[in-house]
Structure 1
Amino acid sequence: MSQDLDQDKSMEQLNEEADIAADYLEDLLDIVDYEGDIEMGVRNHRPTVQIVADDDTDIQHLIGQDGDVVDALQRLTRLAVQQRTGERSHLIIDVDGFLSRKRKKLRRTALDAIDEAGETGEPVDLEPMNSFERKIVHDMVREEGLKSRSHGEEPHRYVTVYPKVDAAEGVDELKDDADQAEEDER
């Protein structure tokens, strides 16, 4: 549902958000004296900004442990964009391809859980994840025809992957899964 909000924005608005974010991040890089290139674009109707640097040491500081700094940069940058535009942004910030690597790892985790649920016939609980991570897992599980659901409270919210159900039960439960993925994206 939150992605639907960005569907109402024109390409000009999305590019403006990316420009504002790029300026904000360039200022931050100057403050911490890091060299880096900023690449902007729009992907899946969301503004994106990628920070790429030659110095691997600096880049690691911008990623942080398990992406915690990237997450913080994204939150701060979204607030900066909102302050300038007056509208909430669903901007995505990436540092040196961290999000691509994270998506691949999450897909492997989801496939492993799907396999385990299929082999054992029992639900499989995953480790706590942020909303971005849960959304990727929910989408992957749905693509494979299984059901998943988020449980718990932030920051300990986690995904459970359920084994296949018979066709009569499955229709309503897959609808619930789609609703859950949308909720996690918010």
Structure 2
Amino acid sequence: MTNDTVIEEPTQELLEREGDIAADYIEGLLDIADLDGDLTLDVKHGRAYVSVEDESDSLRVLSAPETVQALQELTRIAVQNQTGQFSRLILDVAGSRDTRRRQLEKLVDHAVEKLDDGASQASLPAMSSYERKLVHDIVAEKGLVSESYGDGVERHTVIRRR
């Protein structure tokens, strides 16, 4: 007897519901903080995406990567409390995800310089699973190989040539 756990992909309907619940939660937080924001909901790659934008730059205070990560975790918990299902939703505040991707691209470029200088591999700092996924995508686009090592908050990515 095997102990393989089959993880079912969430349905489009569940992901849309997650987005709606998350949007309500984020709107409540914005109201408490007296901040304005326009929310956009989307479903892609098997995840609900919630983006919060504002023309006045008032959301800048919430767009630091650590803050967005914390807000995302709180929002996931709020969604899970209502759906009874683990949520993998992605939260973007004031373009924070694009900003973080650019930062990760620079980090990967620096690691590639180490490889160009003769290093056999280059380790990146520990980061979230979402950030590691972005790094793996960036590394693959550059024709290199990456693997994640470590556990929990110490999990990090190592880059090497093929």
Q: What TM-score, normalized to structure 1?
A: 0.74
- Partner residue, 2:19: 18
Native 8 Å contact 1:14 1:42 kept in 2 = yes
- Partner residue, 1:129: 127
C-alpha distance in 1, partners of 2:156/2:47?
25
Native 8 Å contact 1:121 1:163 kept in 2 = no
Alpha carbons of 1:60 and 1:20: their partners in 2 closer, same or farther (altered >3 Å)? same
1:68 to 50, 66, 69: 66
Q: By how many angstroms is 1:119 displaced? A: 4.4
Letter of the 1:159 partner, please give it: T
- Partner residue, 1:107: 105
What secondary structure does 1:155 align onto?
helix
C-alpha distance in 2, partners of 1:110/1:27?
37
C-alpha distance in 1, partners of 2:35/2:107?
33
Q: Which runs of 5+ in 2 are unaligned?
A: 1-5
Cα shift readout 1:92-128 (whole Å, capped 9, x = no counterpart)? 0000111012113313322442353244152112223
What secondary structure does 2:105 align onto?
helix
C-alpha distance in 1, partners of 2:137/2:36?
36
Alignment identity in percent? 38
| 1:15-164 equivalences in 2 (<5 Å) | 15-56=16-57, 58-64=58-64, 67-164=65-162
What secondary structure does 1:127 align onto?
coil
Alpha carbons of 1:130 and 1:18: their partners in 2 closer, same or farther (altered >3 Å)? same
Q: Which runs of 5+ in 1 are unaligned?
A: 165-186
C-alpha distance in 1, partners of 2:156/2:48?
27
Q: By how many angstroms is 1:154 displaced? A: 3.9
Q: By how many angstroms is 1:32 displaced? A: 0.9
User: What CA RMSD, in Å, does the superposition of the two structures yield over aligned residues?
Assistant: 2.1
Native 8 Å contact 1:118 1:163 kept in 2 = no
Name whichever structure is richer in helix by fraction.
1
Letter of the 2:127 partner, please give it: M
What secondary structure does 1:15 align onto?
helix
Native 8 Å contact 1:62 1:95 kept in 2 = yes
Letter of the 1:78 partner, please give it: R
Letter of the 1:29 partner, please give it: L
